[in-house]
Chain A
Amino acid sequence: MEWEVVIGLEIHVQLSTKTKIFSGASTAFGAEPNTQACAVDLALPGTLPVFNENALRMAVMFGLAVNAEIGKRSVFERKNYFYPDLPKGYQTTQLAEPIVGPGFVDIETDDGVQRRVRLHHAHLEEDAGKSLHEDFHGMSGIDLNRAGTPLVEIVSEPDMRSSKEAAAYARKIHAIVTTLGICDGNMAEGSMRCDCNVSVRPKGQEELGTRTELKNINSFRFIERAIDTEVARQIDLIEDGGKVVQETRLYDPDKNETRSMRSKEEANDYRYFPCPDLLPVIIDDSYIEAIRETLPELPDARRERFISEYSLSEYDAGVLSAYRPQADYYELVAKQSGDAKLAANWVMGELAKFLNQNDTDIKDSPVSAEQLGGLLVRIKDNTISGNIAKKVFELMWNKGGSADEIIEAEGLKQVTDTGAIEKIVDEVIANADKQVEQYKAAEPEKRGKMLGFFMGQVMKATGGKANPGAVTGILKQKLDALCD
């Protein structure tokens, strides 16, 4: 039987506010346990929440970026359940009246599938703390620093039909929130976490299959792998005559399997009701329009502009626009070097390679956009060759400094003086009788390929600094003269 996969995502995005959603405690990552959990965050008796204006602003920015209706009236509700990382015994969240209503984003997978994914809504809520499972005499430790960090939970419709689409959607959301600057996008630190609702149904069937929810997936790669694994499990199960049970499952990347989370599975009755400690959040058109004015260029628009303004391929434009710091970096390099295509090749090539190898975010690149632009200028004006440029780049990465400083210090300036090149060419030819004879004996149309040897010898003699174009010309001219 042919199966169709149906996927919806719930993405939790931690907003990069300075303080918690309802208290004045810092949200900085990595502090000592419970040093950023104030009386409100610990739910001390008598404490009360007050809403962070920046969390509201950021949620509205997100809504505008995904073409959504903004809730002019939104209401915080309490979701009641007991868990040690939830100090109040309820999570303050939004249900009936969220801040962001229905919207959509357009996605495209690597293999060219395009789709519009509808957003059901996005709401504001508070994050929970963390349970640490190192053994404290058989006990768990609770760190509430994260408790109260503002989240936007983005709930999609079940519009995705493959794990690739799900990953592309998650990447798009990542691109949007990082472009907006409302989230640092650091998935390893949990700044963006995905729950995937996955079901399968026979192709052509209207009715949805029973879904399972895969919790807390924190990389794009794992989204694909977790969904693929779960889809295979569901299909095997059904084909073996079994039934999918609606449940929450945890993806284990080490074993590449999903497993049931029984402890959270108990039928929950969250007893939602409007939080009486908070009042309805009311905003008007002027508030919304003022925020719209401040929106940066969004990834889709930037991608289009990269295509039209810099004549980039759709692929290159897509990659470069997906992450705002990268797009900003690229544009600076392009402007600095005056060569958009060369800039794209370097940002996606050599720079990306070094960033990857060193697990470095482009924001922290030791080679700045200005410096890379400066390097490309030296390729363009023939001061150095592309190959030498890679060497210069490596030195810039490792030691710092501008391209010009390194070219100067290392004496890498390209030799373009034809007199000097001619002298070296003459020496090479004089010392390669055998190869010269072969050259002379060859059919004229095959001689071009034989230049490589001589080229290599010249480069060797100049330490790679000779301008390759000039060398080729002179070599050809001198060798061909010998043939006449």
Chain B
Amino acid sequence: MSLDRSDVEQIAHLARLQIDAADIDSYSDSLNSILSLVDQMQATNTEGVEPLAHPLDAVQRLRADEVTETNQREALQAVAPATEEGLFLVPKVIE
């Protein structure tokens, strides 16, 4: 599998990354070399092997349904780029 410029642009869009037009070729080269590295996997027969998502076969623990968090808006919004009236501001959301 080999990625061309438009594939790279498409992936960059999917990941919401602005990539300078001048850099697209170098990204596509390095992505292709990584993909050819990972394509080594394809020769391996993995039929019937259960995928391993977590190294320990642990199961999800449950949390009691009790409120543990208090209002920390001021502290949490101290690091926000733009807020007003307790809201995070973003360019207009069009639905």
User: Residues of A at under 8 Å CB distance from B?
Assistant: 17-19, 23-26, 32-40, 42, 44, 50-56, 82, 84-85, 131-133, 136, 138-144, 250, 261, 263-264, 269, 271, 274, 276, 278-282
Cross-interface CB contact of A36 among B71, B89, B91, cutoff 8 Å: B71
* Residue among B62, B73, B86, B87 with max Cβ neighbours from chain A (10 Å): B87
Q: Judge if B38 is at the interface, Cβ distance under 8 Å.
A: no
Interface residues of B in 39-95 (CB under 8 A from A): 53-54, 58-69, 71-73, 76-77, 82, 84-95
Tell me the nearest residue of chain A to B61, going by C-beta.
A50
Query: A53 and B64 in contact (CB under 8 A), knowing A33-B86, A139-B90?
Result: yes
Give the residues in chain B near A141, CB-CB below 8 Å. Answer: 84-85, 87-89
Query: A279 and B87 in contact (CB under 8 A), knowing A133-B93, A138-B92?
Result: no
Query: A42 and B76 in contact (CB under 8 A), knowing A17-B65, A50-B61, A140-B92?
Result: yes
Tell me the nearest residue of chain B to A28, going by C-beta.
B67
B69 touches A52 (CB 8 A): no
Cross-interface CB contact of B63 among A35, A50, A82, A142, cutoff 8 Å: A50
User: Residues of B at under 8 Å CB distance from A?
Assistant: 14, 16, 53-54, 58-69, 71-73, 76-77, 82, 84-95
Cross-interface CB contact of B67 among A18, A35, A278, cutoff 8 Å: A18
Query: A280 and B62 in contact (CB under 8 A), knowing A140-B89, A250-B95?
Result: no
**Nearest-CB distance from A115 to chain B (Å)?**
33
**Nearest-CB distance from B61 to chain A (Å)?**
7
Give the residues in chain B near A38, CB-CB below 8 Å. Answer: 69, 72, 76
Give the residues in chain A near B14, CB-CB below 8 Å. Answer: 269, 271
Majority secondary structure of chain B interface residues (helix, strand, loop or mixed): loop
Cross-interface CB contact of A34 among B60, B68, B77, B93, cutoff 8 Å: B77
Give the residues in chain A near B53, CB-CB below 8 Å. Answer: 274, 276
B72 touches A282 (CB 8 A): no
**Nearest-CB distance from A44 to chain B (Å)?**
7
A26 touches B88 (CB 8 A): no
Q: State A279–B62 Cα separation when bound (angstroms).
A: 10
A278 touches B64 (CB 8 A): no
**Nearest-CB distance from A35 to chain B (Å)?**
4
B85 touches A33 (CB 8 A): yes
Q: State A33–B74 Cα separation when bound (angstroms).
A: 11
Tell me the nearest residue of chain A to B86, going by C-beta.
A33
B69 touches A25 (CB 8 A): yes
Q: State A472–B93 Cα separation when bound (angstroms).
A: 71
**Nearest-CB distance from B91 to chain A (Å)?**
6
A282 touches B59 (CB 8 A): yes
Give the residues in chain B near A276, CB-CB below 8 Å. Answer: 53-54
Cross-interface CB contact of A280 among B59, B63, B66, cutoff 8 Å: B59
Give the residues in chain A near B88, CB-CB below 8 Å. Answer: 34, 84, 141-142, 144
Give the residues in chain B near A261, CB-CB below 8 Å. Answer: 95
B59 touches A84 (CB 8 A): no
B59 touches A25 (CB 8 A): no
Give the 10 A-B CB pairs with smallest separation, nearest first: A141-B87, A24-B68, A54-B65, A53-B62, A38-B69, A33-B86, A142-B88, A131-B93, A35-B71, A25-B69
Give the residues in chain A near B89, CB-CB below 8 Å. Answer: 136, 139-142
Q: State A384–B73 Cα separation when bound (angstroms).
A: 59
Q: State A140–B91 Cα separation when bound (angstroms).
A: 6
**Nearest-CB distance from B8 to chain A (Å)?**
15
**Nearest-CB distance from A199 to chain B (Å)?**
23
Q: State A278–B61 Cα separation when bound (angstroms).
A: 9
Q: State A271–B72 Cα separation when bound (angstroms).
A: 33
Give the residues in chain A near B65, CB-CB below 8 Å. Answer: 17-19, 52-55
